[in-house]
Amino acid sequence: MTDITGMKAELDGLVREQGERRALREQRGEELKARSHEYMTKQVQAAERYVMHRRELAQRKTKSGWSTDRSQAEPPSAFDDGVEFPGAGEAPPFAPARPARDDSPRHARRHRAAEDTDEFDNNPW
């Protein structure tokens, strides 16, 4: 009988320990979830501030006239005076012509056998 009561007491202790560990694990999980939620909230706030800052910069650029947007007409360059040079746009005469592509199959290189062996038979050079 004492063996049975001792086993029941040991089993009750194990069940209680298991319940305490489960509660502790759930508590740590909730704390971790709260910390990660707080971190992600801060990240979202920082991203929103960055987006607002970039929008503000874009508005300043367009208002002050130094926008880099290419949709507006560009002012004429001092080098665009309408003079065309002869041969502009053609390939220069010294440019090498591309050789025609050879579609024949290529063969793998073969290893040359050692032509002459000296006293050093194990040395390939």
3-class DSSP string for the chain:
CHHHHHHHHHHHHHHHHHHHHHHHHHHHHHHHHHHHHHHHHHHHHHHHHHHHHHHHHHHHHHHHCCCCCCCCCCCCCCCCCCCCCCCCCCCCCCCCCCCCCCCCCCCCCCCCCCCCCCCCCCCCC
Q: Domain map of the chain by residue range?
A: 1-65
Q: What is the pLDDT of residue 71?
A: 55
Give per-residue pLDDT as tens, 60-106.
877 666 655 555 555 555 555 555 655 555 655 555 566 666 666 66
